[in-house]
């Protein structure tokens, strides 16, 4: 067999050429984060005052930046190769975790920082937004990204086959 034979192509050298559903998902996730922001910031303001509100806002901004950076890395590396995608996903998580930790470490001693609401916002926003987004992500290869909008015939059982 010749080296340009399609049967000789390694799975690890393959790459994605289709649309990037990561961008669509992260835009929706950021939109939901903006909807959750008043609740997180307000609850922190009630518990810790203005400093708690600023800290929770900073934590939420870190979460949204983390999700956006992850989507960008996945989109870029999927177009290069699946092997690059796997490596970037594995090591990118560690790097992004270090970046979030460094972002907290840099501001921890500033007068406006309250660590408890910031860390609560980091954890609650990461986990909460991911679980919230699960309801809207399509788990089908036919519709990668977000679920398509329901039509009138989808809701009407009389049109069932």
Structure tokens at 113: 């920082």
3 falls within a domain: no
13 falls within a domain: no
Average pLDDT over residues 97-121: 94
More confident residue, 34 or 78: 34
CB neighbours of residue 159 within 10 Å: 10
Average pLDDT over residues 99-111: 95
The DSSP output letter for 15 is -
157 falls within a domain: no
161 falls within a domain: no
Q: How far apart are CA 26 and CA 38, in angstroms?
A: 19
Q: Any residues with CB less than 8 A from the CB of 75 and at least 6 apart, and which?
A: 20, 22, 23
Largest CA distance in the chain: 71
154 falls within a domain: no
What pTM, to 2 d.p., does this model score? 0.76
pLDDT given at position 1:
46
59 falls within a domain: yes
More confident residue, 131 or 42: 42
117 falls within a domain: yes
More confident residue, 137 or 49: 49
Question: Is the per-residue pLDDT at 11 higher than 80?
Answer: no
Q: How confident is the model at residue 85 (pLDDT cuts 50, 70, 90)?
A: confident
Positive or negative torsion for Cα 135, 136, 142, 145:
negative
Question: Is the per-residue pLDDT at 110 higher than 90?
Answer: yes
Q: How far apart are CA 122 and CA 125, in angstroms?
A: 5
- Domain count within the chain: 1
99 falls within a domain: yes
Parent domain of 32: 20-143
């Amino acid at each position: 067999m010749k080296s340009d034979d399609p049967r000789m192509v390694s799975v690890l050298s393959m790459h994605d050429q289709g649309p990037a559903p990561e961008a669509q998902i992260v835009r929706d996730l950021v939109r939901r984060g903006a909807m959750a922001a008043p609740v997180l910031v307000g609850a922190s303001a009630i518990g810790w005052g203005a400093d708690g509100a600023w800290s929770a806002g900073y934590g939420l901004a870190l979460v949204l930046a983390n999700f956006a950076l992850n989507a960008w890395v996945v989109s870029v590396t999927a177009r290069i190769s699946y092997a690059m995608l796997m490596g970037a996903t594995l090591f990118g998580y560690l790097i992004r975790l270090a970046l979030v930790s460094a972002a907290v470490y840099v501001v921890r001693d500033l007068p406006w920082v309250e660590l408890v609401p910031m860390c609560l916002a980091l954890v609650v926003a990461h986990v909460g937004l991911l679980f919230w987004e699960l309801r809207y992500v399509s788990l089908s290869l036919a519709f990668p990204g977000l679920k398509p909008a329901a039509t009138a015939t989808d809701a009407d059982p009389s049109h069932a086959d």
